[in-house]
Structure 1
Amino acid sequence: MPHTGLLHQLQQCAKRHLPTQGKKLHAQVIKSGLDHDGLLYPNTLIDMYGKCGYQNDALQLFDKMPERDLASWASIFTAHNQASLFQNTLSLFSTKFLIDGFQPDHFIFASLVKACANLSALKLGQQVHAQFLVSPFLHDDVVKSSLVYLYAKCGLPDTAQKVFYSILSKNVISWTSLIYGYARAERKSEAIELLRRMPGKNLYSWTALISGFVQSGLLVDAIRLFIEMRRVGVYIEDPFILSSMIGASASLAMLDLGKQVHRVVIGFGYRSSLFISNALIDMYAKCSDVLAAEKIFRHMSKRDVVSWTSIIVGMAQHGQAGEALSLYDEMTSVGLKPNEVTFVGLIYACSHVGLVNKGRQLFKSMVDDYGLNPSLQHYTCLLDLYSRSGYLEEAESLLNSMPFKPDEAAWAALLSSSRRVGKSEMGVRIANHLLELGPEDPSSCILLSNTYAGAGMWENVSKVRKFMLAMEGRKEPGYSCVNLSKENQVFYSGETTHPMKDEIFELLKELDAEMRRRGYVPDTSSVLHDMGQQEKERQLFWHSERLAIAYGLLKSVPGTTIRIVKNLRVCGDCHVVLKFICSIMNREIVVRDANRFHHFKGGVCSCRDFW
């Protein structure tokens, strides 16, 4: 075989990602002695292995080279970047490249900037930028495009725009990066205007805008743009944009939208895509349809740790602890190593069924068997497990000994447990810690006020009220969104302007009367305003979740599940009310609040009245 033909075939293996064929060609290179004849073949082999995902082989070849040139370095940096080993690129640059006395060329600069961008290493990226500006390559448009992406990803779209305008030949990558930067920074109008002005806009331009909006929380705008993109006939040749839309559906808990995107996934033939299937599992779980999530999981031909973790966490969040733990056993039996998120879901699952020993064992296993370092979230889950199961002394000991400063949620969880089992002395002690912390969550203030009131500590009750008054102006208004088949309606607490307010009011009155006949007594302890009992009850009556439930009952098909998403924690009184309503109306009600999922059915809740 002529040497030029061998070189061409190696380049084709790199282009088409054919590592097995590439290894055979490598053997021919060695047999022909070409691996010692200059740097052309070694550099091409490093490039081939890197692009085929064989970074270890690429690095092994690189380390064995008696001499290297800039092309060798560019190939190994590219190999690490393509494997998302961006830290390795920067480490090699600082520990070997500079020590060997090399100066970066435009290829090296582009690789370094890409690594900085993907690590969001802004300061280091700025240093590379400064070095680029005093180099002979300061006019290179490829490096400038990489710099646009760096500043866009690091939240500096205006800086990205300055670099963008210095590019003589603006390509799709630079346009797309700038659009993404403004979208991610919530600069909505500027991002959309850039897309409108962009010549030759394509799927990737739309994807940059839509995914940027999803990441910045502009979910409704992302959905509108996706609909517009579909209307103008942009062909979806890459599934990434679909995963963004699935994520938006999950965040908004819009089950019907998620199902529509799922149909688009099937229509474009991406059903077998691993990351799309993982996104669908997460979406269905967050939209409270865990049966659909499990069905997708079971039909996957290939699963990774994200697939298993998504279904385990989904089951745990919905109170299906037995299923979550069985899935974990199944996962480990096929040889997959769980990650940190897997253990969050597992310990959380144990807390719902009081499996204290199992939870302890899992916490120990993540450290001893898998070498994972527990985070604050793992400690909080273990604390929740101890608290729910009545192991309050162990919970308090854990809170005081863990290697993280306990946050407000941790103290509040333990305070709630101590009140629930009537340990007033412990409750006051924990309340004092929480008061010193300076609570910012209204539900924490309610817990504090009730604890101090029960102990007759009225001076502290007064302090808590001052906290509540201070946060009144800045606290997020409570709202609930009811998800029906063809619409989503948002209700705010106290809202009385809805077109169906009279029908909603009448239904709530009827339900209130029936609940009282069944023994319901309003719990006004969550209303800290100084007002009479009747006015406090009226405030509870107009809580957003009750309005959303009433609307859902009036508008939905009889017998169907009503799904609610609430931005704050469900208050204790509304939790009791929802248990009554699901029993009276013989309907299942699913509420996703700021803490967890609540499945109300037959007069009980899946959270077992602890949240």
Structure 2
Amino acid sequence: MTSNSTAKTLVKTFLRTPHSLKTKFQAKQLLAQFLKTQPYSPSSTSILISVYSNFNLLHPSLFLFNSLNSPPLLAWKSIIKCYANSGHFLNSLTCFVQMRSFGIYPDPNMFPFVLKACVFLKNLRLGESIHGCVIRLGLDFDLFTGNALLNMYAKFQSLQPNGGHKVFAFNVFDGMPKCDELCGTSAQEKGASIIQLDRMTKVLEMMPKRDVVSWNTVIAGNAQNGMYEEALRMVREMGNANMKPDSFTLSSVLPIFAEYVDVIKGKEIHGYAIRHWFDSDCYIASSLIDMYANCARIEDSCSVFNLLSKRDDISWNSIIAACVQNGVFDEGLKLFRQMLTAEVKPRDVTFSSIMPACAYLTTLHLGKQLHGYIIRGGFNDNMFIASSLVDMYAKCGNIKAARWIFNQMEHHDMVSWTAIIMGYALHGHAHDALLLFKQMEMDGVKPNYVSYIAVFTACSHAGLTEEAWRYFNSMSRNHGIKPGLEHYAAMADLLGRAGKLEEAYEFIGSMHTASTGSIWSTLLSACRVHKNLELAEKVANEIYKVDPENVGAYVLMSNMYAAARRWKDAAKMRIFMKKKGIRKEPACSWIEVKNRVHTFISGDKSHPLYDRIFEALKDLLEQIEREGYIPDTNEDFHDVDEEQKKYIIFSHSERLALAFGIISTPAGTTIRITKNIRVCVDCHTAIKLISKVVQREIIVRDNSRFHHFKDGKCSCRDYW
């Protein structure tokens, strides 16, 4: 037998059973044998092109395709598929158009690859045209094509209909029928995302056969766009069609109950997951963790995580974010350390999740360690992480480091601008903050809701009333931003600090939205500072109406009555609080020393070094008294003698933390303290003098701002 006849025999055998070819090497060998069999038929060539397209062997496929004078449908379909799977999406679409120009009708199996090309080219118009072609040709939706259409519209939910490669769409598909039957509503009348959802639903309805992928695509699309009722309706329809939800279905539905804060429905889904053995799936577990976290059920989030036998980076990131989101910062940091011990590599989202914990706890040392991880991991070019670093350093008291990182960023978005502006605002550098805001506008970054909060905070901490009014009026006039509660609160705070109490009272009363207890509380604090008890009583009554459980209002009024020597009213207020079970939030301060956070509560004697702390405080008191310090006991209890009052303020939490910092760190070390409530007047005065006698910079962050104490002065200039 000649070599040519042997080649023909081999080729015939393999072409009859093309699936017997298992490797690319075998496929390439077949080509060599095939070329010996000339002349070869178009049908045989098409089968071989199909074989090569299955292996994504583009060059052999093109070689054979170009040898055909009139390629049959199988050859066109195979080369279009090969182009799409090899990433040559434009060529894939061009081949499709050429095929149509030759009058060859496509079959349904071709469309998934053409639609895939439309998705990767990010051109919705192309996809619409292909969809229109399917309808006008009267082709039935097979399962594969229907799912491809659903996937395409799902991917395009966030894109405008005329986005992407618009010119190419009109040039190549000129005259091709558009999907008018599905377009219905124009983009001007309806959001682009909703249009895609409508089309997805219609495609699903037109599909004669649907599988779990079909349902999941539509359910996820609706859930991700806030169409929760529609998503749940689809889940019910899926059940009615005897189609069982899988893990992807559950992970799409769980965020709905988190958004609704419906933990009961979420638990039902959790039960379903357990019954069908989905709860060990890391993706489902992560969705459950997120759902419970959004419903403020952090204990349940931790339970789900602890029951996982295998944990991936997604589940670790979910539980860390859940803890930080719910204010369990210490646990979040602990889990982050455990994640590193488990040799799970942090991702960009990990750092974005854990950074706020460092910012809140002002754990600068850990923040620097995270910064080192970020640099070593190559994440420092990530804009969102860089913005988180700016925020972290600013809130840990190091505004210079925050500015340095900001300056190192190649590009600045709204998040990074807002982070640095708010950082300067919290540190009392109002003029720097406002200068950055103007620079942001000059760079073409449009201010948003949050950036104006930063501006008003800066104005408030510096008493810049006129500038604040100018920004407040321009916010809606120039940028179309409607003032919200945070803006009103910042303006009320500014007016209150400036002593314009009546103006602040009228301003809150004229709000275009319902007032809250927190906004009125801002003014109540100002009334205490300016000793306006008459207005304070009016403000307190407003608070009791909208927020009867507001603890701070009762405490402030009790203290104001005591300071005004209205003992009976003060006693009544305390009795009322006791009956209601209202307790004052304990003052708490913390300090990081030698990589460990030490927490102090006012009057607390539990610290192992309390005796040394107490002696240090006594010594500091003697030194600052020589500098002219006189205790201000007006804000403390009236029913104790003066010596007892001195002891009470002597053991305020920030002073305990300060004394501990002084005895635990070398001379000259900057001391950084965080307090959960406002620093009292007496402690503010005392710490100013302490900074002078110990020759140290002392940075205190309270719930309002940063205080940089140095050489007997404070950065706030006693305006806080």
Shorter-chain TM-score: what band?
0.7 to 0.9
On the 8 A contact 1:561/1:587 being kept in 2, the answer is yes
When structure 1 is superposed on structure 2, of 501-510 and 32-41 the one drifting more is 32-41
Structure ID, larger Rg = 2
Instruction: State the distance in 2 between where 1:99 and 1:22 align.
Output: 23
On the 8 A contact 1:90/1:112 being kept in 2, the answer is no
Instruction: State the distance in 1 between where 2:513 and 2:127 align.
Output: 38
What is the CA deviation profile of residues 5-40 of structure 1, one whole-angstrom value per residue up to 9, with x for unaligned ones? 334433554xxxxxxx75675566446548995776
On the 8 A contact 1:182/1:191 being kept in 2, the answer is no
Match of 2:335 in 1: 225
Instruction: State the distance in 1 between where 2:537 and 2:247 align.
Output: 64
| 1:556 CA drift (Å) | 1.4
Instruction: State the distance in 2 between where 1:501 and 1:407 align.
Output: 41
Match of 2:704 in 1: 595
Q: 1:387 aligns with which of 480, 488, 496?
A: 496
Q: Does 1:310 align with 2:414?
A: no
Q: 1:204 aligns with which of 298, 314, 320?
A: 314
Match of 2:629 in 1: 520
On the 8 A contact 2:658/2:671 being kept in 1, the answer is yes
* Structure 2 counterpart SS, 1:526: coil
Letter in 1 for 2:366: L
Letter in 1 for 2:343: G
Letter in 1 for 2:716: C
Relative to structure 1, the CA distance from residue 81 to residue 448 in structure 2 (aligned partners, 3 Å threshold; closer, same or farther) is same
Match of 1:17 in 2: none
Match of 1:193 in 2: 306
Match of 1:9 in 2: 83
Q: 2:678 aligns with which of 569, 572, 582?
A: 569
Q: Does 1:114 align with 2:220?
A: yes
Instruction: State the distance in 2 between where 1:297 and 1:512 align.
Output: 41
Relative to structure 1, the CA distance from residue 301 to residue 29 in structure 2 (aligned partners, 3 Å threshold; closer, same or farther) is farther
What is the CA deviation profile of residues 416-457 of structure 1, one whole-angstrom value per residue up to 9, with x for unaligned ones? 434545656544543443455566555544542454456676
Relative to structure 1, the CA distance from residue 578 to residue 128 in structure 2 (aligned partners, 3 Å threshold; closer, same or farther) is farther
Relative to structure 1, the CA distance from residue 579 to residue 29 in structure 2 (aligned partners, 3 Å threshold; closer, same or farther) is farther
Match of 2:657 in 1: 548
Q: Percent identity?
A: 31
Match of 1:321 in 2: 430
| 1:607 CA drift (Å) | 3.3
CA RMSD of aligned residues (A): 3.7
Match of 2:326 in 1: 216
Match of 2:380 in 1: 271
| 1:56 CA drift (Å) | 5.8
Instruction: State the distance in 1 between where 2:618 and 2:358 align.
Output: 33
Matches for 1:442-481 after TM superposition, within 5 Å: 443-452=552-561, 460-470=569-579, 474-481=583-590
Instruction: State the distance in 1 between where 2:567 and 2:105 align.
Output: 86
| 1:316 CA drift (Å) | 0.9
| 1:490 CA drift (Å) | 0.9
On the 8 A contact 1:181/1:212 being kept in 2, the answer is no
Instruction: State the distance in 2 between where 1:41 and 1:305 align.
Output: 43
Match of 1:501 in 2: 610
Match of 2:457 in 1: 348
On the 8 A contact 2:154/2:221 being kept in 1, the answer is no
When structure 1 is superposed on structure 2, of 91-100 and 482-491 the one drifting more is 91-100
Match of 1:281 in 2: 390
| 1:610 CA drift (Å) | 4.0
Instruction: State the distance in 2 between where 1:49 and 1:565 align.
Output: 54
| 1:528 CA drift (Å) | 3.8
| 1:272 CA drift (Å) | 0.7
What is the CA deviation profile of residues 164-203 of structure 1, one whole-angstrom value per residue up to 9, with x for unaligned ones? 23546765423443455567732365234323x13xx432
| 1:604 CA drift (Å) | 2.9
* Structure 2 counterpart SS, 1:369: helix
Instruction: State the distance in 2 between where 1:446 and 1:226 align.
Output: 38
Q: Does 1:241 align with 2:354?
A: no
| 1:308 CA drift (Å) | 0.9
On the 8 A contact 1:490/1:548 being kept in 2, the answer is yes
Instruction: State the distance in 1 between where 2:651 and 2:433 align.
Output: 37
Q: 1:406 aligns with which of 505, 515, 532?
A: 515
Relative to structure 1, the CA distance from residue 455 to residue 225 in structure 2 (aligned partners, 3 Å threshold; closer, same or farther) is closer
Letter in 2 for 1:272: D
Q: Does 1:78 align with 2:78?
A: no
Match of 2:482 in 1: 373
On the 8 A contact 1:599/1:606 being kept in 2, the answer is yes
Letter in 1 for 2:334: R
Relative to structure 1, the CA distance from residue 146 to residue 351 in structure 2 (aligned partners, 3 Å threshold; closer, same or farther) is closer
Relative to structure 1, the CA distance from residue 219 to residue 428 in structure 2 (aligned partners, 3 Å threshold; closer, same or farther) is closer
| 1:123 CA drift (Å) | 5.7
Q: 2:644 aligns with which of 518, 524, 535?
A: 535
On the 8 A contact 1:149/1:160 being kept in 2, the answer is no
Match of 2:201 in 1: 97
Instruction: State the distance in 2 between where 1:468 and 1:55 align.
Output: 64
TM value normalised by structure 1: 0.85
What is the CA deviation profile of residues 374-421 of structure 1, one whole-angstrom value per residue up to 9, with x for unaligned ones? 110001111222223343343222111002333333223323434545
Q: How many residues align?
A: 598
Instruction: State the distance in 2 between where 1:415 and 1:503 align.
Output: 38
* Structure 1 counterpart SS, 2:708: strand
Relative to structure 1, the CA distance from residue 207 to residue 186 in structure 2 (aligned partners, 3 Å threshold; closer, same or farther) is same
TM value normalised by structure 2: 0.73
| 1:337 CA drift (Å) | 1.1
Letter in 2 for 1:264: Y
Structure 1: runs of 5 or more not aligned = 14-20
